Structure 1
Amino acid sequence: MLREVEDRVLWLSTAIVHHANRVRPNPSGLKVGGHQASSASMVSIMTALWFGQLRAEDRVSVKPHASPVLHAINYLLGRLDRSYLTRLREFGGLQSYPSRSKDPDPVDYSTGSVGIGATAPIWGALSRRYVDTAFGSAGTGRQFSLVGDAELDEGAVWEAVMDPAVAELGEVVWIVDLNRQSLDRVVPTIATDRLRGMFAAAGWQVITLKYGRLLEELFARSGGAALRDRLDDMSNPEYQRLLRCGADELRRRLPGAGPGADRIAEWVAQRDDATLLEAIGNLGGHDLDALDDAFRAVDDSRPTVIFAYTVKGRGLATRGHPQNHSSLLTEEQMRALAARVGADPDDPWRNFPDDSDAAALCARVAERLRRPEPPPRAVPVLPTDIGRTPSGTATTQAALGRVLLDLTREAPEAARRVVTVSPDVSSTTNLGGWVNKVGVWSASERPNWFADDSESILQWWEKPTGQHIELGIAEVNLVGLLGELGATWSRWGQPLLPIGVLYDPFVARALEPWSFGIYAGGQSILVGTPSGVTLAPEGGAHQSITTPSIGLEQPGSVTYEPAFAIDTEWTLLASLALLGRPDGTSAYLRLSTRPVDQTLAAVPADPAARERRRCQVVSGAYALRRHDRARVTIAAMGAVVPEALAAADRLERIGTPADVVCVTSPDLLFRAVRARQGREQADTWILDQVFPDDRANPMVTVVDGHPHTLAFLATVNRVPAISLGVTRFGQAGSVADVYRHHGLDADSIVRAALDVTGSP
């Protein structure tokens, strides 16, 4: 029955791609694409896994190019409507690669960004353990990754594999589809021994499935040992060429010219053509019994990797061809495949007869894998304003830690849902107080050997109730975990409020996996700090320039860059309130280490006026200073707001009064501009309050980042504008020196204001 299901999965996955490219009308003429050969190499593995091993509590990340196999299996299990089989890569149809948020059938992990989908189950396992120790009800279950061998070239894979926290995750199982081909070629040296050694060195169990049962039995015959040595020593391209041979040519090529050639030739002579042709491609990754044995051998005390040797295009006319990656079977080849596997090319989506053993198997598996939807839980109510008015001198980075501590007192139930993650920078990003308060998460309690050391300011208590997770210095790991922590509301019905903190220059390094996590439904807050050239003494290597633009452009996220501690509090609380819910969204906060006089914020004392200011802050901007005779508007963001205020003071003295607007979110302001144009749905009231028509003066924008971030503000009232910012790599020096170098200082703002107003 299982082999019958395997054949039908092969047919359906191949037919899904065939229909999209050769049957469905394509008026544009653009390539639709799909991967019949890459899917075929996974059919046996996925058939054995789904129909023999998976439980409802297990989850699987499927390699991107095998998405048709996943859809074929879901169809046989009654989890995908037949109508979708003809809609691969069609608008509103099946996605190009498995998508948890966009595909109509069950997908556990979104994949498509190579290496990121492979590692996601690691962070899923860690997140499940965190939820289970904190709130219970997350259950158990293995976390499988079906990985293409080419994905092992990705650095993200090894950053995850080598992290010390991963060695304890026994529920993680990777199955490497070792077909030894990339997009363009047969890879000459896969170096499987080296890969096995690297996994073993990281504490993983390593299982290798190289040959199938038929070959293993034939190796035991006379001459078989020499054949094994020949195949083991053979280069990948030579082996792949043998897969393309007919029986006569295979008999000539297989013995080779080595010392065992005579014994191999004798072995070959004793085999009939059918056995010989079947044996040469009989690899462990296509042997259902061998796969089942491998799954049963998994050691749950540590992560496991199974290297399953496969043939790319196995079962297809294109098997083993170096350029079969995106190749398509012809109509004639499709009909030949149908005849071999018992399908009907004229009724390609026909399911098993209701009274057949295969249909009964599918029904049993579907029932076994039925997964109830977790009951939704709402995040406990969060305050919008803790009520303090900061005074003195403070940084927005330090405000982050203070707000988290305040939250534990003001809203302890909500604070219990907060989990922070950082790559070994907790103390330098002002999370020390929070870490001391809530502790470091660990699946089991560990002693703090420095608890009695009076000079230890940061207390590293590792315990199951901790709320901070520390990873190694690998930003990709941090945001990978952040995305999965942000998806627990939909996986187990337990919403978390995850906050990841990293140095802002490294946001770009972490961007792709964080963005992919958002695409997959993970809601989180990413805090980049310290930021900008304001980090003056550190020099250009640690100064971020493009991150404000990243925040403006990232889908599924709101970005904030507060100038004052109170702005940090309000924007952080607003961002937390948007996490862990079906209509939620992520956030990116760009914070600074520059000490700023907090009285410059001029927070209104009247409660109603204070609430109005808060609403403006979380909506994108507020008027920090108004002048009855203003001739210019200075719109500034973040750490450079003090320079904008100083410039306004000087401009007033020389007869060019200025309004000063503090921008907290260029992202939200840009959405408001587009909404006013009828291009998207968003509130526009903030533009009316902060940039009213009757104050449509020439504008100077200034930001510690690329100047185009705020340049669009001139379009609100269609006024002349000069945009100041950073367009070159940074320099080391004092803040005053660096600001002067980049044209962010008060002198530069004054000059720009005089230029844009045409003042003499």
Structure 2
Amino acid sequence: MTEPDLEVLRAVSRRVLWLSAAIVDAANRQRPNDTGVKVGGHQASSASMVDVCVALWFHELTAADRVSVKPHASPVLHAMNYLLGDLDAKHLPTLREKGGLQAYPSRSKDPDTVDFSTGSVGIGATATLWAAIAHRYVRSQFGAGEGGGGAAAGGRFVSLLGDAELDEGAIWEAVADSQVAGLGELLWVVDMNRQSLDRVVPDIQIERLQAMFSAAGWQVVTLKWGRLISALFERPGGAELRERLEAMPNEEYQRMLRADSVEIAERIMGESGSEDLQALLQSVPTAHLAAAVRDLGGHDLGLLVDTFGSIDDHRPTVVFAYTVKGRGLPTEGHPNNHSALLTEPQMRALADACGTSLSDPWAGFGDDDETAKAAAELCVRRAEALRRPPVAGAERVAVPLELGHPHRKPISTQAVLGRLLADLTRDAPDTAARVVTCSPDVASSTNLGGWINKTGVWASSERRDWFADDAERVLRWSEAQGGQHIELGIAEVNLVGLLAELGATWSRWGERLIPIATLYDPFLARALEPWSFGIYAGGQSILVGTPSGVTLSSEGGAHQSVSTPSIGLEQPGCVAWEPAFAQDLEWCFLHAMDSVGVPGGTSAYFRLSTRPVEPALARVPEDPALRERRRRQAVAGGYRLTDHDPADEQVVLVGAGAVMPEVLAAAESLAAQGVTAGVVCLTSADLVFRSFQQRGDRDAGVGSGVLDLLLPPQHPAPLVTVLDGHPHTLAFLAGARGDRIRCLGVTEFGQSSSLTDAYAHHGLDAGAVAGAALDLLGR
């Protein structure tokens, strides 16, 4: 790579600073707004990151690199994309407007190139780490991509994050994962502006942060001072100057930046400065000294370029780049500048300083001087260097509708999952080749053992299996590059972070994966926010929560999930499933697999159980046509288990998941008392709710009519709903026909007990279900 012309880079930096500020200004001060609601933006947070970004985009990055930009620097990303010809000027005034530039970088909603969605603090930063692993995985499975097929050669995976993001636990869960220390392609740059939203961060904590990264095997580089002030450090009194500045609390340093330039020398001297320090300060012109104390490493373009070009790529690297929040703005260093917006006079002064005009804010570089011409030429060259070929369409895989193995013995849905995956390698090898599983140290206890024995555990390099000759071993934990299971430590946030990036490889590199992760269902809530954000960011995957509910009776309240059914129903971009029977799970799971890793696809959440259930209770038709009809109903959300005329039903029992045997037993009990009860088995309350919402929609092509099949509108009857979760999950069914309803479920923490005692305690046993039906009938 050629040596940069620093003067040209500085010209580009000034223009990016201006554009990022002008994007926010246009959204707030120039766009009509009669709502009284502030539009907002982050001019100061953007300004501190400008020089780091310019050094990367306009010198260092290649087309193969992928970068996550801190949420509050999104205007900088859009400003650079505009200069590089990747964003039309019409979008620049549209920040936070419908259809315009998003508040934070969005891979799916912004009109320009965004590599990673950010906005959920800490989660966007760690995404590069999981993307690096995902990229290594697809290359090890499908080749390097030359000659067609396989993932494209990878570059660096770069995260630009604010220092306040390091307060997030998600950062440290990811940094500490054992696989990360070998990711030499990983580069994080921390914007050390030492301000958060509310305050100047007190104390000096860089040593602690450096030690934490170093202990995790990272290379740590700190850019504290630029070359201008470093030259002063070499002069007599310079060592004391450096010692004084580095001993300053963050608040004192920030206050010095806000003082008149003639006060700076006095503030540095304090009460104990030596004669040598005084002589040095007196020898430096006031303007030069004011510039020097602002000359931090994160603003020295030459130092940044040299640093990025010389990083050891054999281990992950973190660069702590010291910056000033609001650098170059009138709000520079102010403790309350986070959301501050420049006034019109301040914007005009900034335009003058940056060599542009508020009346023509989006003007490009002119040709009135050599530097401007060179800057325009640099933009053209870098645009060409960063241009990426279109991502090839991912290979289409024909996922089978079913595997065809009969389910005859009582079996839990969790065990069915293990059997399905193990059978997939034999019955549908092309589909199996695209499957990758992962878990947070619960692979064996969530029935992935058979799959792992057949496919192996993935590792970036071969590892010796010291138990290969142990005849008593049941789980063969062979780690190699060809394995298809990725094991993580006990960290559910890491699990869903990796899941999201494995689920994005089809759109990043044209390689489809079908990622499947298992975790204990009660811990879904622990991973909820990053899981949801991963779906928002475009990751398509299948998350399996198992075991679930008070059905896991002996494990006690700490492992009995209650709220997860409604969480799944409420999660955008995802279909929630809770099949009761083995055949239902097979159909629904294969259907969900077919929807993952494809344009317009969707994620899935399965809530499974360890309770063995008799398959015959499902009454799967033997006739091929009727069997296919049942399959279609199962993947649409549910089916009726009773075959009598709905007009004859006095009450309808609606169940989902592990409690279906109790629902059917209750129906038999009611029949013995002369009450005809219909039985509805839901496989997905989520899809049934969507059918409910879409009833009467004027768009004839929208929605599914499954609700009308389950609860025919012409035959109203009281409803009893039952599931091993919070009862409000199915309460919406009362609105389908205006029926009276009783919702049974779990509303309190459980305790260790037998299954029979647990169901009786929470009112999920057959007697409670039948009793609720009789209550509704007034009997």
| TM-score normalised by structure 1 residue count | 0.99
Given that 1:634 and 1:660 are in contact with CA atoms closer than 8 Å, whether structure 2 keeps it comes out as yes
- Counterpart-to-counterpart distance in 2, 1:723 and 1:630: 18
Match for 1:558 among 568, 575, 586? 575
Verify the 8 A CA contact 1:378 1:581 in the aligned structure 2: no
Structure 2 partner of 1:755: 775
Do residues 517 (structure 1) and 524 (structure 2) align?
no
Displacement of 1:696 after TM fit? 2.0
Is 1:654–2:673 an aligned residue pair? Answer: yes
Q: CA deviation at 1:533?
A: 0.8
Amino acid paired to 1:562:
P
What is the CA distance between 1:262 and its match in structure 2?
3.4
Q: Residue in 1 aligned with 2:301?
A: 288
Question: Per-residue deviation at 1:40?
Answer: 0.2
Aligned match for 1:306, one of 276, 301, 319 = 319
Note closer, same or farther for the CA distance 1:579–1:620 as it changes in structure 2 (3 Å cut). same
Residue 603 (structure 1) aligned with residue 620 (structure 2): yes
Give the match for residue 651 of structure 2: 632
Structure 2 CA distance, aligned partners of 1:644 and 1:674?
A: 26
Find the partner of 1:87 among 72, 89, 94.
Answer: 94
Cα deviation for residue 357 of structure 1 reads 1.1
Contact 1:88 1:95 in 2 (8 A): yes
Residue in 2 that maps onto 1:738: 758
1:356-375 deviations in whole A, cap 9, x for unaligned? 11110000000000000121
What runs of 5+ residues in structure 2 fail to find an aligned partner?
Answer: 1-7, 146-150
CA, structure 1 residues 190+410, in 2 after alignment: closer, same or farther (shift >3 Å)?
Answer: farther
How many angstroms apart in 2 are the aligned matches of 1:246 and 1:175? 31
Q: Which moved more, 1:322-331 or 1:377-386?
A: 377-386
Once the 2 structures are TM-superposed, how far is the Cα of residue 583 of structure 1 from its aligned partner? 1.1
Deviations 1:672-701 (A, max 9, x none): 111104288743321222211344211000
C-alpha distance after superposition, 1:220-249 (max 9, x if no partner): 111111010101111000000010111222
Q: CA-to-partner distance for each residue in 1:279-319, whole Å, 9 max, x for gaps?
A: 11110000001111211221111000000000000000000
Q: Contact conserved, 1:389 with 1:603, CA < 8 A, in 2?
A: no
What is the DSSP-based 3-state SS (H/G/I as helix, E as strand, rest coil) of the residue aligned with 2:191? strand
Distance (whole Å) between structure 2 residues aligned to residue 234 and residue 33 of structure 1: 32
Are the equivalent residues in 2 in contact too, given 1:167–1:302 (CA < 8 A)?
Answer: yes
Q: Name which of 730, 745, 748 aligns with 1:710.
A: 730
How many residues in Structure 1 have an aligned counterpart in Structure 2?
758
SS in 2 for 1:186: coil
1:109-131 Cα deviation digits (max 9, x unpaired): 00000000000000000000001
| 1:331-346 alignment, distance < 5 Å | 331-346=344-359
Partner of 1:375: 392
Establish whether residue 686 from structure 1 lines up as the match of residue 706 from structure 2. yes
Amino acid at match of 1:746: A
Q: What secondary structure sits across from 1:382 in the alignment?
A: coil
Matched, 1:672 2:691: yes
TM-score normalised to the size of structure 2? Answer: 0.96
* Counterpart residue number, 1:72: 79
CA RMSD of aligned residues (A): 1.1
Contact 1:626 1:658 (8 Å CA) reproduced: no
3-state SS of paired residue (1:198)? helix
Tell me by how many angstroms 1:333 deviates. 0.9
Structure 1 counterpart of 2:18, from 7, 11, 15? 11
Q: Name 1:270's counterpart in structure 2.
A: 283
Partner of 2:482: 465
Aligned to 1:160: 174
Give the Cα separation in 2 of the matches to 1:57 and 1:394.
48
| Corresponding residue of 2:5 | none
Identity among equivalent pairs (%): 62
What is the alpha-carbon distance in structure 2 between the residues aligned to residue 164 and residue 490 of structure 1?
Answer: 27
Q: Is the CA contact (8 Å cut-off) linking 2:657 and 2:683 kept in structure 1?
A: yes
Distance 1:279 1:173 in 2: 28
SS in 2 for 1:712: helix
Q: Which residue of 1 aligns with 2:745?
A: 725
Residue in 2 that maps onto 1:236: 250
1:311-710 matches, within 5 Å, as: 311-353=324-366, 356-628=373-645, 629-678=648-697, 682-710=702-730
SS at match of 1:589: strand
SS in 2 for 1:752: helix
Residue number among 139, 158, 161 corresponding to 1:147 in the alignment: 161
Pair 1:190–1:506, CA change in 2 (3 A): farther
Kept after mapping to 2: 8 A contact 1:672/1:682: no
Contact 2:636-2:704 at 8 Å conserved across structures: no
Cα distance in 2 between the residues matched to 1:546 and 1:49: 45
- One-letter amino acid of the counterpart of residue 528, structure 2: L
Q: Distance in 2 between matches of 1:685 and 1:279?
A: 70
- Partners of 2:729 and 2:687 in 1: how far apart? 12
Name the CA distance, whole Å, in 1 between partners of 2:161 and 2:586: 42
Q: CA deviation at 1:377?
A: 2.3
CA contact (8 A) 1:255 1:262 kept: no
SS in 2 for 1:16: helix
Q: Which structure 1 segments of 5+ residues have no match?
A: none
Q: Secondary structure at the match of 2:524?
A: helix
- Paired amino acid for 1:47: V
2:769 and 2:351 map into 1 onto residues whose CA distance is 73
In the alignment, which residue of structure 2 is the partner of 1:196?
A: 210
Question: What are the Cα deviations for residues 140-195 of structure 1, in whole angstroms up to 9, with x where unaligned?
Answer: 20000001000000000000000001111100000000000011110112410010
Output one character per residue of 1:324-354: Cα deviation in whole Å (capped at 9) or x when no partner: 0000111111111111110111101101136
Indicate if the aligned counterparts of 1:379 and 1:580 stay in contact, CA closer than 8 A.
no
Query: Are 2:69 and 2:77, in contact at CA under 8 Å, matched by a contact in 1?
Result: yes
Contact 1:99–1:109 under 8 Å retained in 2: yes
Corresponding residue for 2:270? 256
Q: In the aligned structure 2, how far is the partner of 1:200 from the partner of 1:448?
A: 29
Native 8 Å contact 2:446 2:546 kept in 1: yes
Looking at structure 2, the residues matched to 743 and 314 of structure 1 have their Cα atoms a distance apart, in angstroms, of: 63
Aligned partner of 1:218 among 232, 250, 257: 232
C-alpha displacement at 1:442, in angstroms? Answer: 1.0
SS at match of 1:120: helix
Residue type of the alignment partner of 1:346? S
Contact preservation (8 Å) 2:204, 2:249:
no
